């Protein structure tokens, strides 16, 4: 418990943590300001104005059709098939909680993942570079519990930040809907689904934080995690797409792209079309396949186990020189 308290204290006292948190909160506030300024509540007069504009547009479209225009299809065209314009098209932008909350929770989760990556990697990486780990082991020679203490401090710290900032983000979304939008269609079922999205984003944040922490611990510097991230992007995102999709036409190549699993995790499932069997045929229907969040959970679980296993093995076995 002493170690955990000390590590919480260390994590919270680090300037890098404070600065990154400040940037995260600043980014979220900017988005929130944009949402608040860019949306407004729809009043009856807005509806009336929209209906007038829709009717005028419909008339204009039909008149234009009947007059004929240089790009029209010539005599005999049936201008009655022109659908009347929808008044909703002419309403000012409004914040519909049901449509917008889930994507914005995902945006929050994405920023939290970045925060977790930076803080997780530097929390152990900077300690290694500065000699802090050696210093700590002179006080706590049991290596595995020491690393576990740091890891638990990181996980609980990230969870605390996620919950605290997430609560503020939820309040912002609620307030935006309350004063600049609506709660149409928000049912208890939707609220449950949104709650589960929050939980999935929390899990993804902790996975990213864990992997960054583990890689930086194995590499003994923060840059190890940054290098690994660049490697994953270059190889997993760019290289795999070029080689597997472009050159070798590997079926369901998206299975080898890390971001597919992140996408499936956030959206519950991702649907893909496999065109590899359609080569040379014009009327071929591509074979559809789905990546589910269960697939993502299995991959994330395996990555976390491997990364943590390597980190603990390396921390307990290697010399601290």
Q: Which residues bind other proteins (CB under 8 A)?
A: 2-3, 5-7, 9-10, 13-15, 126, 129-132, 134-142, 317, 319-321
Nearest residue to 307 via CA among 124, 139, 159, 126: 124
Contact 195, 101 (CB under 8 A): no
Q: Which is nearer to other proteins, 150 or 200 (CB)?
A: 150
Q: Which is nearer to other proteins, 146 or 260 (CB)?
A: 146
| Least separation in angstroms between CB 226 and other proteins | 19
| Least separation in angstroms between CB 314 and other proteins | 13
| Least separation in angstroms between CB 144 and other proteins | 12
Q: How far apart are CA 236 and CA 231, in angstroms?
A: 8
Per-residue exposure over 18-36, b if at least 16 CB sit within 10 Å of its own CB, e if not: eebbeebbeebeebbeebb
Q: Which is nearer to other proteins, 3 or 206 (CB)?
A: 3
Q: Which is nearer to other proteins, 162 or 315 (CB)?
A: 315
Cβ-based neighbours of 105, under 8 Å, separated by 6 or more: 169, 173, 194, 197, 198, 201
Q: Which is nearer to other proteins, 14 or 41 (CB)?
A: 14
Q: Which is nearer to other proteins, 134 or 284 (CB)?
A: 134
Neighbours of 200 (CB within 10 A): 20
Q: Which is nearer to other proteins, 25 or 137 (CB)?
A: 137
| Least separation in angstroms between CB 237 and other proteins | 29
Q: Which is nearer to other proteins, 15 or 67 (CB)?
A: 15
| Least separation in angstroms between CB 312 and other proteins | 16
| Least separation in angstroms between CB 263 and other proteins | 37
| Least separation in angstroms between CB 6 and other proteins | 4
| Least separation in angstroms between CB 130 and other proteins | 4
């Amino acid at each position: 418990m002493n170690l955990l308290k000390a590590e919480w204290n260390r994590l919270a006292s680090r300037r890098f943590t404070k600065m990154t948190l400040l940037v995260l909160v600043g980014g979220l506030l900017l988005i929130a300001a944009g949402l608040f300024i860019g949306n407004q509540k729809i009043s009856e007069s807005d509806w009336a104005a929209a209906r007038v504009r829709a009717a005028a547009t419909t008339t204009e479209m039909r008149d234009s059709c009947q007059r004929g225009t240089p790009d029209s299809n010539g005599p005999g065209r049936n201008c009655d098939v022109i659908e009347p314009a929808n008044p909703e098209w002419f309403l000012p932008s409004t914040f519909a909680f049901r449509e917008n909350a889930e994507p914005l929770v995902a945006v929050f989760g994405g920023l939290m993942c970045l925060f977790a990556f930076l803080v997780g990697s530097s929390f152990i990486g900077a300690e290694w570079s500065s000699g802090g780990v050696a210093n700590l082991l002179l006080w706590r020679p049991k290596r595995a519990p020491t690393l576990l203490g740091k890891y638990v401090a990181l996980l609980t710290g990230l969870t605390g930040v996620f919950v605290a900032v997430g609560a503020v983000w939820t309040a912002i979304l609620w307030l935006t809907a309350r004063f600049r939008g609506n709660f149409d269609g928000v049912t208890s079922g939707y609220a449950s689904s949104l709650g589960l999205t929050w939980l999935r984003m929390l899990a993804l944040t902790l996975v990213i934080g864990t992997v960054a922490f583990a890689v930086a611990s194995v590499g003994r510097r923060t840059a190890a995690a940054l290098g690994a991230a660049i490697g994953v992007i270059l190889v997993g995102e760019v290289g795999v797409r070029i080689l597997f999709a472009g050159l070798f036409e590997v079926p369901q190549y998206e299975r080898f792209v890390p971001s597919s699993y992140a996408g499936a995790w956030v959206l519950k499932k991702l649907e893909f079309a496999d065109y590899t069997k359609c080569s040379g045929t014009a009327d071929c229907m591509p074979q559809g396949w789905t990546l589910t969040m269960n697939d993502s959970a299995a991959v994330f679980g395996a990555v976390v186990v491997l990364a943590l296993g390597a980190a603990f093995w390396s921390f307990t076995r290697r010399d601290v020189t």
